[in-house]
Structure 1
Amino acid sequence: MKLVEITKDNWLQTVLLTTNEDGKATIVEKFVASNALSIVQSIYETGWIVRGVEEDDKIIGFTMYGLDEDTKNYWICRLMIEHTYQGKGYGRKVVQMILDEMKQIDDCATIYLSTEPDNEVAIRLYESLGFQKTGNINDGEAEFVLKL
């Protein structure tokens, strides 16, 4: 498994990924914004890095992370694994790969993320990797922080 750049060869496969059980991608999915929306956001807002999650030469997920220009904090802004690949440990591996990349950024000492308060699977994952609840709610999502 590896993180790969979004290119002309894989962008369509990336935007068509979905967490929806019916297999139909939507602009706002149950727990995450669509990959298409995220890619557009990364074009118009500076600081974001977008990557596909590739396993056996197939895109199975997506992430967006980097420096939020408004808060000046480093964030894992988006993380999704396609619905047919969920529950197989890919999310944990991807978060670890993202953290490894973010640790290479000179001034990145703290990483934030947020998730829907009822996304129990994600909350367990993030807490098991050392993220702690901040007590803040951002756009209806519970905020977490990891100090490196």
Structure 2
Amino acid sequence: MMRLIDITEENWLEVIFLSTSKKLPTISEEFVASNALSLVQAQFEKTWTTKAIEKDGIIIGFTMYGYAEQQGYYELCRIMIDYKFQGNGYGTEAIQLIISEMKKIEDCNDIYLSTDPENSKGKRVYEKIGFINTGKLVDGEELFVYSF
């Protein structure tokens, strides 16, 4: 079973060492900011929720979502699955869990996300779930929206 869990004193170190590549995590990975950077960002920008992604008792990923004040919309800002667990459909399952959580936010009717134009695998997953490419670029990334 997959679930979103709080990042705590007991698991924060495990979360920041998750990586999308076999190399040590860096501040900016290939298609996503590091989990450490995201956790710091969420400390100062209070509109973000950070969660670890757990599958069968093992932390396999990380997400950050909430209200993007600068842009004025709700956003799935970060989603990553550790390289050891990729290719199993866990990203799709995690995004669906996140959407379920974001639907509980009273004034959230759309969820935005952006990704590097080179992230073809990610874009396929987003579109399969129901995100639509808006045709807009935000900071050089393609903007997608999921409406409900």
1:81-131 C-alpha deviation (Å, 9 max, x unpaired): 000101100000000000000111110001100111111111011111111
Tell me how many residue pairs correspond in the alignment.
147
Structure 1: gaps of 5 or more residues: none
1:72, distance to aligned residue in structure 2 (A) = 2.1
* Mapped contact 1:136–1:143 kept (Cα < 8 A): yes
Question: For 1:140 and 1:59, how far apart are their aligned partners in 2?
Answer: 31
Q: Does 1:9 align with 2:26?
A: no
Q: TM-score, normalised by structure 2?
A: 0.97
1:44-78 C-alpha deviation (Å, 9 max, x unpaired): 01210000001122211000001111122000000
Which residue number corresponds to residue 81 of structure 1?
Answer: 81
Question: For 1:113 and 1:140, how far apart are their aligned partners in 2?
Answer: 13
1:6-55 C-alpha deviation (Å, 9 max, x unpaired): 00000000000000133x11110001000000000001012100000011
Greater shift, 85-94 or 52-61, is seen at 52-61
Which residue number corresponds to residue 93 of structure 1?
Answer: 93
Question: For 1:98 and 1:37, how far apart are their aligned partners in 2?
Answer: 20
Question: For 1:27 and 1:56, how far apart are their aligned partners in 2?
Answer: 28
SS in 2 for 1:38: helix
Which residue number corresponds to residue 106 of structure 1?
Answer: 106
Identity %: 49
* Mapped contact 1:46–1:69 kept (Cα < 8 A): no
Question: For 1:71 and 1:115, how far apart are their aligned partners in 2?
Answer: 15
Question: Which letter maps to 1:115?
Answer: T
Q: Considering only aligned residues, what root-mean-square deviation do their CA atoms show, in Å? A: 0.8
Q: Which runs of 4+ in 1 moved over 6 A?
A: none
Question: Which letter maps to 1:11?
Answer: W
Q: TM-score, normalised by structure 1?
A: 0.97
